[in-house]
Structure 1
């Protein structure tokens, strides 16, 4: 036998050396994964990127084979653009500790739905999946399935209910169709324990149709959680309460109506009348956060916080910010009634927790908070007069801090007497709120000397006191603040006194060049690791030093969680914008969704430099770009931006193409004309809509000339508020 005919012994035995090499490579990769400690957010991002699906697959395989411990409770694929077949083939490797998956339109609608159906069948859903459930106990046992806006049409809704896994408890939808109501009437949702329509876009009358179907469902619904947060539709509260009274939700334990437009005593009267009828006897959690409840609404609600009406109530959420308190607390009656009801002997026996917001607080209630007489008060928002009373009560209290409060937000406005804010500033500076302060909002409307004293005192507090739990800091500074030390905040950041800060908003004439540079220096040194929103707006002179510091922070990855960067009135010229844009070539900034560069001195050259720094995956999630009120941004800038979108840059802006107050592309009229002439609408999938702006500026394809005449490159015009 010739040498060329001899059989390689290692090849005949399966190449042991190659097997050892593969095993070593696998062990090394697994070791690297263990040290990197991948999170659910990372896996979601990898699986949503075309070039990183393989790494996501390897992580899931390692986790399922118990080579890597990674509790992967949830996966968010709402913005995934990867082929559905690839994604669902990887998701088959999910381990049995995965409980929730969020899916976007690209993975659900149209031809993609067939792959979703097969995936749900592999988990044991539908008739074909029944036999598979006993075969593989390691498969994911989904408890919650979330669908992003635009995911489900009539066909998908009906097909989804055919393959729902028996273990599925919660279904969250952002859309609704009449087919959904019909399916609920047919009893197809009888196994669900939770139904969520948070921030859903529903057709007119559909919500009422759904409530009617819930009443007529056979077998009866077994819902324990119903969530309608952010759903603003006229008359829906009556339909909901009618369904509750008819026994549609006999097992309901959690009712979430946050941000649901429950305004005035009429809506609350309908709800409390239903409660008095004994139809929510098993309710444990009632959430009404950020609803503009008036005085009578609170009085009515306090009247049903009794064991005779809500015997199992454990949690009541009445929290909210300044905007939801416009009508609340014209006197102290509403606040007093609620606290008296929750401390009365007739209160629900197992009541544990309340979240509350108020503009008025009596001395007795304030002293009770400091004295620990309200152990159920865990989260509280105090606005203006209530904050002052609370601060004055601290002077008479022996406790180092509020003994029961875990989260406290304080809102101060100079519309009240500046003297009323001085006790609050002193309390913050004392450090007694260090363990519970989560949000601080200061708004100086005027330019009084006394206001400058208050804001300067607060700024000094950050220099000397650590606030480890502070997540939101919003300061609108009047010009008097400049007379004091406005860089105290920057020094506090450099010293690591605000390690958990997520939202930093500093605006107004009180922020000078030195203060701006101090903030940017703190960011460049990595002292804002959790920051998600940065808004710095002040009429300062061009600040090249601040721009360089911001670029350094972005390049070093110190602002990797940033979702909103807003720099209006920042003194940005072309050179500063180009300086910041250099960071884009070395950093993908995958979390950034909104970039506001309005009210600066940017021209076409600056926009050209900005676009020139973009790479294929740069700013991959950017859905909002605002360049309005830059006098130099003209037709050429619009053409440059359109070309970038045509080439596949700014992919989220290119694919979403949504224009609204919070997302889209905002340009001046000349730049819009250039943009409209160069954009390839078929290639970019742009769907423009329009709104008028002040000062003759426009939005989308709509233009308003100086003479007042209207011109439009697209006959389909939709004006948005």
Structure 2
């Protein structure tokens, strides 16, 4: 009996060894498989597996193998922002968090419901690990602890975010908050508590807050579809009452701002995007700067923010206070100043004069601050702001700012890169912007050699001064040496020109400047616009021909945007433009606006023929609204179905274009084959056309499930089609597997 028991135990041990060997073989095979997959990038593979419900098990195994050292590949970044796992599974993944991970991105599922306490527990685990292993350099395998934490996607309640911030592990270097997930005043108090004194964020060097459109203006006010061109922030301003109720009360600002001791102010980068002084308390920034609480601050980035006039003035005043001596970058790109509309005694509405003067004063304060004694380290200045709120530079303010930048007697900072958006500039200043000055050296010497980005809006007289000054300057130099070989070396890297109601006088020198190659390496955008007043006239026939010929005589590889709206372009003009496209001179265009013109079938056929040859293969937005483009829908369909045509197009605008049922049948031919999928098209605008239910039905029947896979917005408002019938037709098409991405159908 005893022998039998011994034999049984031996057999049992043998079975266990065999099972162990099988497990090792399976583990080795899995490791080999993962190593092969990780050749495409460890961070990308790990993040991709972790974000999918179906690959949750594979993601957990991969992270475990890396954590145990069985796969020696560091995962520096782990992005879980798109993860949709339930809380317990999500934090089972985080339990396998790799010591080598330096950047962690967390999404909405990290805050929802029962996830919030689990997130706090995870942060405590990370902090406990940091304490056990000392500093980051002593971690096994040479890895480093978490340095960057990104919250993105949004949370339903503010306490969830505040609680997560209070629990973040000590030692973070960078914290980023994105999306509709916070109440800024409450958030600032929470951040202040952690930054102050011995708080967990005392070592933070970068703080970035990015609000989306929904978070800034309230739920449901963001864009519903990409077809509606993105409005400047200033065009979606809050009411004047909201502006006046902003953080103008000093006690409220003090309560919301971060109160730091100078010896603990290590923050080097402060970046806010999409915040509003009116609703999110961006007004705390000037307070911090003026009180010298961020003495180590090297970068202030306030992009796409909305300032009140008072807040903007306080910000510029704070810059001149000397509280940011080591500041290297000041960036206001896309931001705007909201000046409320008031009604005068005569009953006329207009911008508040007092606040406009306050904005003007702000620019004067900035001009005075641009001296080496105040901002000795400033190297990058970006003032490409939106103009819609009438907070733009006036001609006087622009002159003072330009004078301070070029006046060597006042010792301006040693700037390396400056971006300006000048909506109003005097003729004398316009001449100097890109002109050179006499120099004994072989190279040209410019008044503004640091000017790298320039958005310039010019009226008739200013445009004449600008272009004629350039031509005189460069023609004089071209007579020496290589006969103009130095042309095309303007200091500016990105030039966006907007000619306002100039007529023939400004268009002719513009055409000559393009023809001579002055803008070959820098022109990014060109707009000719007409205002609805008695003095505004479109470009005349002769100047228009010269301009269109100039576009065809030399390549403009950097040009990405052309707006020729309402310039009376007829078929002959479009034939000339098509020649420029055919020759490849406009091959870099991303956005082409030809709306409001006179061309019809012949012009469209010429342009689309050039497109079929690959002349606009990178075009993303085409606007043919309020033209007779509907007469040439066969040519449009041919360009859409061509292999070399609109391969990158995502927005096609054809409202008020005389598109009828016959045109819809022609358009249908572009989508009736599996080879014509047009994967990039997301917006199709057919508003206010002569389309009946029959035309829509023909179009939908021609579609295949594979065609138009990305179409999100179909606009057919004001067509000759019954609304109920149209919706039923679209619903039926979706039931057949078509238009699966469609989210916005307007009829």
Q: TM-score, normalised by structure 2?
A: 0.69
Q: Is 1:298 the counterpart of 2:377 in the alignment?
A: no
Structure 1 residues 46 and 341: alpha-carbon distance in aligned structure 2, compared to 1, 3 A threshold:
same
Structure 1 residues 613 and 186: alpha-carbon distance in aligned structure 2, compared to 1, 3 A threshold:
farther
SS in 1 for 2:555: coil
Conserved? CA contact 1:158–1:180, under 8 Å: no
Distance in 2 (CA, whole Å) between partners of 1:511 and 1:340 is 48
Distance in 2 (CA, whole Å) between partners of 1:433 and 1:59 is 53
Partner of 2:191: 184
Conserved? CA contact 2:165–2:191, under 8 Å: no
Structure 1 residues 313 and 406: alpha-carbon distance in aligned structure 2, compared to 1, 3 A threshold:
same
Partner of 2:631: 542
The one of 418, 439, 443 aligned to 1:354: 418
The one of 664, 667, 683 aligned to 2:746: 667
Partner of 2:564: 475
Q: Is 1:227 the counterpart of 2:256 in the alignment?
A: no
User: Offset at 1:463?
Assistant: 2.3
Partner of 2:259: 216
CA-to-aligned-CA distance 1:150-186 (integer Å, 9 cap, x gap): 5774224423552458444141333313653442232
Q: Is 1:433 the counterpart of 2:497 in the alignment?
A: no
Greater shift, 269-278 or 604-613, is seen at 604-613
Distance in 2 (CA, whole Å) between partners of 1:55 and 1:502 is 41
Structure 1 residues 467 and 101: alpha-carbon distance in aligned structure 2, compared to 1, 3 A threshold:
farther
Partner of 1:673: none
Partner of 1:193: 205
Distance in 1 (CA, whole Å) between partners of 2:154 and 2:468 is 47
Partner of 1:567: 654
Q: Is 1:313 the counterpart of 2:378 in the alignment?
A: yes
Q: Is 1:375 the counterpart of 2:449 in the alignment?
A: yes
SS in 1 for 2:499: strand
Distance in 1 (CA, whole Å) between partners of 2:78 and 2:375 is 33
The one of 409, 430, 439 aligned to 2:496: 409
Partner of 1:587: 677
Conserved? CA contact 1:125–1:165, under 8 Å: no
SS in 2 for 1:408: strand
The 5 Å alignment of 1:226-245 reads 226-234=270-278, 236=281, 238-245=283-290
Partner of 2:344: none
Conserved? CA contact 2:539–2:567, under 8 Å: no
User: Offset at 1:302?
Assistant: 0.6
The one of 554, 578, 582 aligned to 1:490: 578
Conserved? CA contact 2:267–2:294, under 8 Å: yes
Greater shift, 191-200 or 215-224, is seen at 215-224
SS in 2 for 1:458: helix
- Point out where structure 1 has 5 or more consecutive residues left out of the alignment: 1-10, 655-664, 669-721
Q: Is 1:344 the counterpart of 2:420 in the alignment?
A: no
Conserved? CA contact 2:316–2:362, under 8 Å: no
Distance in 2 (CA, whole Å) between partners of 1:315 and 1:238 is 22
SS in 2 for 1:257: strand
Distance in 2 (CA, whole Å) between partners of 1:161 and 1:636 is 55
Conserved? CA contact 1:143–1:169, under 8 Å: yes
Q: Name which structure has the greater RCO, CA cutoff 8 Å, separation 6+.
A: 2
- Point out where structure 2 has 5 or more consecutive residues left out of the alignment: 1-18, 195-199, 219-241, 338-355, 437-445, 478-485
Distance in 2 (CA, whole Å) between partners of 1:550 and 1:61 is 52
SS in 2 for 1:434: coil
Partner of 1:632: 721
Highest Rg: 1 or 2?
2
Q: TM-score, normalised by structure 1?
A: 0.71
SS in 2 for 1:282: coil
Conserved? CA contact 1:237–1:270, under 8 Å: no
User: Offset at 1:486?
Assistant: 1.4
Distance in 2 (CA, whole Å) between partners of 1:650 and 1:83 is 30
Q: Is 1:394 the counterpart of 2:470 in the alignment?
A: yes
Conserved? CA contact 2:42–2:75, under 8 Å: no
Structure 1 residues 636 and 421: alpha-carbon distance in aligned structure 2, compared to 1, 3 A threshold:
same
Greater shift, 627-636 or 215-224, is seen at 215-224
Partner of 2:299: 254
Q: Is 1:420 the counterpart of 2:506 in the alignment?
A: yes
The 5 Å alignment of 1:10-49 reads none
Partner of 1:282: 326
Greater shift, 207-216 or 222-231, is seen at 207-216
Distance in 1 (CA, whole Å) between partners of 2:292 and 2:154 is 30
Distance in 1 (CA, whole Å) between partners of 2:64 and 2:624 is 44
Distance in 2 (CA, whole Å) between partners of 1:223 and 1:309 is 20
User: Offset at 1:283?
Assistant: 2.1
SS in 2 for 1:357: strand
CA-to-aligned-CA distance 1:625-660 (integer Å, 9 cap, x gap): 422122225212123445667899766665xxxxxx
SS in 1 for 2:574: coil
Structure 1 residues 126 and 117: alpha-carbon distance in aligned structure 2, compared to 1, 3 A threshold:
same
Distance in 2 (CA, whole Å) between partners of 1:633 and 1:487 is 38
Structure 1 residues 22 and 179: alpha-carbon distance in aligned structure 2, compared to 1, 3 A threshold:
closer
Distance in 1 (CA, whole Å) between partners of 2:273 and 2:168 is 27
RMSD over equivalenced CA pairs, Å:
5.1
Greater shift, 576-585 or 282-291, is seen at 576-585
Partner of 2:554: 465
User: Offset at 1:365?
Assistant: 5.7
User: Offset at 1:436?
Assistant: 0.6
Distance in 2 (CA, whole Å) between partners of 1:120 and 1:351 is 42
Structure 1 residues 70 and 278: alpha-carbon distance in aligned structure 2, compared to 1, 3 A threshold:
same
